[in-house]
Chain A
Amino acid sequence: MATLPRTRPRNRRLVSRNTVAGWSFILPNFLGFAALTLLPVVVLFYVAFTNWNVFGVAEWTGTANFRRMWDDSSFWTALRNTVYYAAFHIPLTLAAALGLALLLNRKLRGVRFFRTIAFFPYITSIVAIAVVWNQLFSPEYGPINALLGAVGVDDPPGWTASATWSMPAVIIVGTWRYMGYYMLLFLAGLQTIPAQLYEAAETDGASPWQRFVHVTLPGLRTTTFFVTVLLTIESFKVFDLILVMTGGGPGQSTLVLSQYIYQKGFEENQFGYASAVSIVLFAICFGITVIQFMVNKRRNS
């Protein structure tokens, strides 16, 4: 926090001139930002305590929405599935991204080309990705099960057609899509580790594994922590990928929180109840970030 100098009369004029200038720069963006992001977030906490419906008639119902949520088995299914997705997507993507970054940080030919490829899934639209993976996952004729058959898997999974395998299928695609993005962040982090540290470790006779554990990992601590937070938020808000790939099915096997909000809100017009579910999503994502802030602060001090 930059503290402003103690204001003497002349400075006060400067401060007020700067305030006008500052606000005039920020205002065009801020008006849109306030109206479309800040205001909705505030309104959310009102709507969640009402029975707001499609006609816009709202009655204050107190905690009724939350009490209903407590007994709503679909809500708990959605929450459980979201946690399921996060529990696998986060470590898998973290490991894949770090692995790729380490691979790319070496002086090999074709690294630039590979970096381009790895980033490609991230800039491809979810709809195209979902539909092509659905073809790849096709239980009877798809190449993935053909490949599994070729290596001797007799009873390959039904993937998106099976309630057991639909979530793993979604997790695989999610990891495939995002690992290139996080790889880039890791790569940037790796480049900040001084080469002398590696040289010193090598001189001391440290094995590659020891160098990884004692030089690379500590050097990447900030990056890793930050990537984990981003990944967690991204996992808990997962929606479009699942919506297009499985539609939440079969049954409710891939129904996630965001999709449940969408269903209740936009398909059944229960804006009040949907907002209550939104608050849970909000609390999870915001809570994680606040924790990050606190841990970061403690480490810095």
Chain B
Amino acid sequence: MTATDLSTPVPAVVAPGNRAPRRPVRSLGGRILGYAALALAAAGLLLPFFWMVVASLKTNNDVFTIPITWLPDPVVWRNYLDIWQRSDMTTWLWNTLLLSVIVTFLQVFTGSFAAYGFARVRFPGRNLLFLAYVGTIAVPWQSYMIPQFILMSKLHLSNTLWSIVAIQAFGAIGVFLMKQFYETIPEELSEAARVDGLSEYGIYRRIILPLSRPALASLALLMFTTTWNDYLGPLVYLRSPELRTIQLGLNTFISQYNAEYALIMTGSVLSVLPVAVIFLLGQRYFIEGVASTGLKG
């Protein structure tokens, strides 16, 4: 805490001549130090992104030079045309978009629906059931991916886009986040609606859903980003080249053209761009969503 508020009365016991003049100095020093630390941390956090963009605008030979060139000279836009010819970028982006939209829709729908059951309907066994949901948050997917793959193969779902929909759409995260939010809505609202003869489904649709738009937005953003960025799921389940998602495609591209440094960075920029735009637009929802799922998990 910096002492920025100079109007705070100084306690009488402290000799004013001794202490009062020092405070602004300490606070000014503290501020400068604070800004310096912020600037340094920001530089460290941004450097990789800066490099990514700059390298994508260089010719391949200019990416690594001694000494390092921090700005592209000349600026080469060609990479952003070439990448579409050199790779199946269009297919990858389309597959990923399709998956992200379907998964987001299913997760938001089933998650918010189930969360209502957990938050507002009392029935025997409810808490035990919820415990099963909570419990699996501590179980990493990596530890049950083998049996899940076996099951999925038996259902003939592996190597189809459906497999990714199946593994992502019914996670506990949506139930969790929405339940957290529903519990902040006053119970009296539902009570009043019940008295008016609304069924539980009516209450969910007419009262709770309209009130929970911010939480739904948080969940949708989180799910879209998670699905867009998922690498392991597609790696395990999608074998055919035409099913590749952007992450899987980008990684095969990297191993295929491992010396095309500039083009690889171009692909990386393109893979990050959609999520970056979405994040910047919906930042508020994003951060609220993370803070609320994280804290009470």
Interfacial residues, chain A to chain B (CB-CB below 8 A): 1-2, 4, 15, 18-19, 21-33, 35-41, 43-44, 47, 52, 56, 100, 103, 106-108, 110-111, 114-121, 123-129, 131-133, 135-136, 138, 141-143, 146, 176, 180-181, 184-185, 187-189, 198-199, 202-203, 205, 208, 211, 223, 226, 230, 233, 236-237, 239-240, 243-244, 257-258, 261-262, 265-266, 271, 274-275, 278-279, 281-282, 285-286, 288-289
Contact = CB atoms under 8 A, between A and B. Distances in A.
A141 B64 contact: yes
Given A2-B122, A124-B275, A184-B291, A278 B146 contact: yes
Interface residues of B, number: 105
Given A25-B121, A44-B147, A237 B297 contact: no
Contacts of B228: 125
B229 A180 contact: no
Contacts, number: 299
Contacts of B44: 176
Interface centre among B52, B136, B138, B229 (most CB of A within 10 A): B138
- B-side binding surface: helix, strand, loop or mixed? helix
Contact of A37 (B3, B123, B144): B144
B185 interface: no
5 contacts: A33-B133, A44-B143, A128-B52, A187-B291, A261-B145
B114 interface: yes
B140 A281 contact: yes
B197 to A, nearest CB: 14
B65 interface: yes
A233 B140 contact: yes
Contacts of A24: 117
Interface in B110-158: 110-111, 113-114, 116-118, 121-124, 126-127, 129, 132-133, 135-136, 138-151, 154
Given A40-B144, A128-B250, A131-B264, A19 B124 contact: yes
**Of B127, B144, B250, B268, which is in contact with the most chain A CB atoms at under 10 Å from its CB?**
B144
